[in-house]
Structure 1
Amino acid sequence: MRENRLRMLWQSGDAAINGWLTLPNGFSAETMAHQGWDSLTIDLQHGVIDYQAMLPMLQAISTTDTVPLVRVPWLEPGILMKTLDAGAYGVICPMVNTREDAQNLVAWTHYAPRGTRSFGPIRALLYAGADYPQHANDTIVRFAMIETAKALDNLDAILSVEGLDAIYIGPSDLSLALGCRPVFDDVDPKVQQAIDHILARAKAHGVVAGIHNGNSQGALARMAAGFQFLTVSSDARLMAAGAQGVLTAMRPAPAN
Structure 2
Amino acid sequence: MLWSTLTWDEIPKILEAAQYAAILPIGATEQHGPHMGCGMDFVIAEELCKIVSEQISVPMLPLLPYGCSIGHSKRWPGTIALQPITLIELVKQVGDWAYYSGVRRLFIVNGHVGNGAPLRCALEMLRAEHDDLMVALINTPTISKRVKEFHFADAEDWHANDAETSLMLAIAPDMVRPEKIAQADDPDRTTGHVFAHPVNRTSGNGVTGTPSLATVEKGIQGFLWMVHDLAELIRRGMQETPPLAHSYLDKAT
Give the TM interval when normalised to the shorter protein. 0.3 to 0.5
Alignment TM-score, normalising by the size of structure 1: 0.33
Larger strand percent: 1
